[in-house]
Structure 1
Amino acid sequence: MRAVPEVGASRPEGPTGAPRRVLAAMSGGVDSAVAAARAHDAGHDVTGIHLALSRNPASYRSGARGCCTIEDANDARRAADVIGIPFYVWDLSDRFHEDVVEDFMDEYAAGRTPNPCLRCNEKIKFAAVLERGLALGYDAVATGHYAQLATGPDGLVEMHRAVDDGKDQSYVLGVLDQRQLAHSLFPLGGSTKADVRLEAAERGLLVADKPDSHDICFVADGDTAGWLQDKLGDRAPNHEGPIVDAETGEELGRHAGTYGFTIGQRKGLRIGRPAPDGKPRFVLDIEPVSGTVTVGPHERLAVRRLTGIRPRWCGSAPTRLQGTVQLRAHGSELPATVVVSGEAVEVELHEPAYGIAPGQAAVVYDGTRVVGSATIAATA
């Protein structure tokens, strides 16, 4: 675990020190239930809301796969009853489909690898929900994310990593801007997951031992390639094409859709025969127009420079920063020099990264503080 100096995990009071009207986003899991309970204990006027994001929600989830099922909505409602707060279900399925699901399909069809959790946080949980909440007179949205907030020396709200490295979710929150952070509460940022589960049990919350959800919530069985095949199929312009060896230029096989591949992928290539040196091949490049998937040795995945677009800054935009970047939700921090010029973000890595795909997010840190993020457009 890391120590974050002078960081308040929940920022429980408004500018005047008075309790706030808070919307607690309750997914039906243990984290959001305890976050809502802690906000209520802090004296806030809390209302629980469950976001109905699926147009056709399943009755039951399968283990830790997926979320947003009818079972999850019922679990959230029971937790709200135990806490003693009002509870409502908000149907945001149309906006979720347009802003998250359609974006996910479009990005894969274009040969990029998106992160739908970042897009959901940006467009749904801290945009659509916050917009509606502010219009209804609420002051903040509380979630069960593991991150910490503090007021910096310049008066701006800073977001920092959680104290629990293993549960830190600041990466998927790197798309939040200053206005959104100023209306956010993360009550769990100073806790470990074990502590949260124990607290849930002590509070009598039935979700105390509920498994965490994993994978992409709208791909409940975890088969992303199969889901994309079903949704895109031969409607995509790149629905079939060659698999080419980067070393020899030889066509090694054919594929049924570039959307079934991502940079760095090793398994499922179905190219039949090994490389001459016997080493495994990895996906090095995806060309969506011709539908060509290029494969080759692991060392050719090395990336030392990134170009980012569509930056989202948590506070003031930097011009040049010696810090770190995180390139995957569960990836390690890499030392880097970040140079910002308008909407362009250039990242020079001090050590190589492997398997980095356009469409992924590069989240920039200054120590434990999240500076912001950008979408990777090119690597070198």
Structure 2
Amino acid sequence: MSRVVLAMSGGVDSSVAAHLLLEQGHEVIGVFMRHGEESPVACTVDGKMLLPLVSERPDHKQGCCSASDAEDARRVADNLDIPFFALNLQQEFGRIIDYFVEEYTIGRTPNPCVMCNNWLKFGKLFDYADSVGADFVATGHYARLTPQPSGPPALRRGVDDGKDQAYVLFGVGRELLDRMLLPVGDYQKSHIRELAGHIGLRVAEKKDSQEICFVSSGRHEEFVRAKRPDVDTSGAIVTTDGRVVGQHDGIERYTIGQRKGLGVAMGEPYFVVTIDPEERRVVIGKKEDLARSSLLAGQTNWLIDPPTEPFACEAKIRYNSPPQPATATILPDGRLAVEFEERLFGVAPGQAVVCFEGDRVLGGGWIESSS
């Protein structure tokens, strides 16, 4: 029997993942990751001390990491009769928050969910799994792992195109694929909800979280300003030909491709085309001004042997964007150059570009620039 540490968020996906793992004969330990206050309480499994539990104050609301979500996860664990622990990862979450704030203040669009997967769910959680003698780490992501004739498994898209989350897992270390389990990736979301109802889980109809877990208000600019009250990022709103058409109170309000909430009325649709953090300018233009045919990405991660020659692929530039035919080249300095067959709109520095071959994730990197 394999021991599995399962990241439980209190949602339906990870809850049903626990059920599926039990059905497969695994020993499951449910873990909820919180970034709240420390508690002196600790727990043991097989005589080994686990990380400290966190505060379960009912008023401690933090999006998908709130006390109510922890209670939902705990009830599911009780229902399924599996051990459940809440880990205090306040320091580790602090790293993600710092990254999030810094990216917005330098005019980039961060993706904290990918970083959470890289640093926590498939980072610190593996350290935790090792501490309790677990063989695998599992999550409720809609993605799949399939065996290969040699080497680690292939990471593939989930069968539910509308819920597929393979994009956000591109940064996981290739060496960890052998120890990952993704139980819900072979199912449609509707089936997962049906399963939850069939086995009597209260979270069967719980809505999916749409918020960044540490920005429960949904207003990221307010969060950034609260964290950096002494940083002034206000400046001018200009058109692509340099005409000043307004003023803004902070570049953190904007992202490439944004149309609503620009703060100026142009009489026709205008979009954020570029953000200049040094001059604190937000440049707006018409949709055609957003068109890009290539990009450059750094901090790459590959789940295959990195190709030494240019290769054809399909590339995604955002989680909710469709993959586009492209040619990718790994440069001598390790960065990734991607040339698209057709021009794309809204290529945002700070987001990830992920290369696919069919439904398989090849790898990707973090967008630095586009042209």
TM-score (norm 1): 0.89
Q: Which residue number corresponds to residue 305 of structure 2?
A: 316
Q: Distance in 1 between matches of 2:135 and 2:35?
A: 23
C-alpha RMSD of the superposition:
1.7
Matching of residue 182 in structure 1 with residue 173 in structure 2? no
1:131-150 mapped onto 2 (5 Å cutoff): 131-150=127-146
Matching of residue 292 in structure 1 with residue 289 in structure 2? no
Matching of residue 92 in structure 1 with residue 86 in structure 2? no
Given residue 277 of structure 2, which amino acid in structure 1 is its aligned partner?
Answer: P
Is the 2:353–2:367 Cα contact (8 Å) retained in structure 1?
yes
Matching of residue 243 in structure 1 with residue 246 in structure 2? no
Q: Which residue number corresponds to residue 220 of structure 1?
A: 216
Cα distance, 1:137 vs structure 2? 1.2
Where does structure 1 lack aligned partners over 5 or more consecutive residues?
1-18
Cα distance, 1:59 vs structure 2? 3.4
Specify the SS of the correspondent of 2:190. Answer: helix
Matching of residue 263 in structure 1 with residue 256 in structure 2? yes
Is the 1:177–1:315 Cα contact (8 Å) retained in structure 2?
no
Specify the SS of the correspondent of 1:358. Answer: coil
Given residue 317 of structure 1, which amino acid in structure 2 is its aligned partner?
Answer: P
Q: Which residue number corresponds to residue 156 of structure 2?
A: 160
List structure 1 runs of 4+ shifted beyond 6 angstroms.
none
* Residues 4-30 of structure 1 deviation map (CA, whole Å, 9 limit, x = unaligned): xxxxxxxxxxxxxxx311001110011
Q: Which residue number corresponds to residue 123 of structure 1?
A: 119
The structure-2 alpha-carbon separation of the partners of 1:265 and 1:57, relative to structure 1 and needing over 3 Å to count, comes to: farther
Q: Distance in 2 between matches of 1:33 and 1:376?
A: 34
Is the 1:61–1:67 Cα contact (8 Å) retained in structure 2?
no
Is the 2:64–2:211 Cα contact (8 Å) retained in structure 1?
no
The structure-2 alpha-carbon separation of the partners of 1:91 and 1:304, relative to structure 1 and needing over 3 Å to count, comes to: same
Q: Which residue number corresponds to residue 228 of structure 2?
A: 232
* Residues 138-174 of structure 1 deviation map (CA, whole Å, 9 limit, x = unaligned): 1111110000001123332110001110010001111
* Residues 73-118 of structure 1 deviation map (CA, whole Å, 9 limit, x = unaligned): 11101101111111111111221112x1110001111111111100
Q: Which residue number corresponds to residue 13 of structure 1?
A: none
Matching of residue 365 in structure 1 with residue 356 in structure 2? yes
Q: Distance in 1 between matches of 2:182 and 2:244?
A: 51
TM-score (norm 2): 0.91
* Residues 194-252 of structure 1 deviation map (CA, whole Å, 9 limit, x = unaligned): 1001101111111111111013111112112222233223x22x5211111113x2211
* Residues 263-321 of structure 1 deviation map (CA, whole Å, 9 limit, x = unaligned): 111111112x42xxx42211111111111111111101001101010001123212322
Q: Distance in 1 between matches of 2:57 and 2:91?
A: 17
The structure-2 alpha-carbon separation of the partners of 1:324 and 1:286, relative to structure 1 and needing over 3 Å to count, comes to: same
Q: Which residue number corresponds to residue 11 of structure 2?
A: 29
Corresponding pairs, count:
352
Is the 1:46–1:85 Cα contact (8 Å) retained in structure 2?
yes
Q: Which residue number corresponds to residue 340 of structure 1?
A: 330
Where does structure 2 lack aligned partners over 5 or more consecutive residues?
38-54
Given residue 279 of structure 1, which amino acid in structure 2 is its aligned partner?
Answer: E
